[in-house]
Amino acid sequence: MNLFKSGFKAMLPIITGVIPFGAVMGTVCSEAKLSLFQAVSMNVFVFAGAAQLATVELMTKHAATLVIVATGLIINLRFLLYSAALSPLVQRSSFFIKFISAYFLTDQSYAIMMANQHKLKTNEDAVQFYLGSCVCMALTWHLSVVAGFIFGNFAPSSWALDYAVPLSFIALAIPTFKNYKYVITAIFSGCIALLLNPMPYKTGLIATAALSILLATLLTQKKGVK
């Protein structure tokens, strides 16, 4: 239980970027004429902010259903990489733990887990910590979306608070740059992401991830990262 609380607390600094993003998501759902029930249902069954935002925008443009579904799936393909990295932690856990761990997996919970994994002695400790961070993230996201839907985006659009999301990740990622290999990979990823951003249906994200993984593999194949 102490590790669960630690995971919950570790997520608190990150939710400063989640709250405005959730408010924007709720507002977009309201402006798209979705009902509160539909917005909450999307939150529960999709539970992926970037995919939800993209698909709702496509709905408002009357895009084909196949395009909407394909876009959401492509955006969420990054979770294959996250789940592969986290799978060793839950391989001996029950099916229920594996199920909820997969369901609650988000960019934020993955980042928190990777930043704190070295502090946790066993896989069981890691799972408790991870689930604590997931609960904090889920509560914040759901409540923020509902608040955004009911009250509208409670900050002026000129503030561009959605930028708090990537900024929070940058703050979390920088301490993990242990040596020049991490720095090179990070710079490469950022540059490639900008170059490939115009690719349709967010496929640039997947291409960037694949190329960055390839570079990281080449950098570390001769000598392990210390």
Chain-centre distance of CA 83, in angstroms?
A: 12
Note down pLDDT in tens along the chain; length 226 residues. 789 999 999 999 888 888 888 888 898 899 899 999 999 999 999 998 888 988 898 888 888 888 888 888 888 888 988 898 899 999 889 999 999 999 999 988 998 998 888 889 899 999 999 999 999 999 999 999 999 998 876 666 666 666 666 776 676 677 778 788 889 999 999 999 999 989 876 678 778 888 988 998 898 875 544 4
Are 141 and 209 part of one and the same domain? no
State pTM to two decimals.
0.78
User: Do 212 and 135 belong to one domain?
Assistant: no
Same domain, residue pair 88 and 144: yes
Q: Please answer whether residues 11 and 131 qualify as being in contact, where contact means their C-beta atoms are separated by less than 8 angstroms.
A: no
Other C-beta atoms within 10 Å of 3: how many? Answer: 20
The range of the structural domain enclosing residue 199 comes to: 177-226
Residues 116 and 57 in one domain: yes
Residues 40 and 145 in one domain: yes
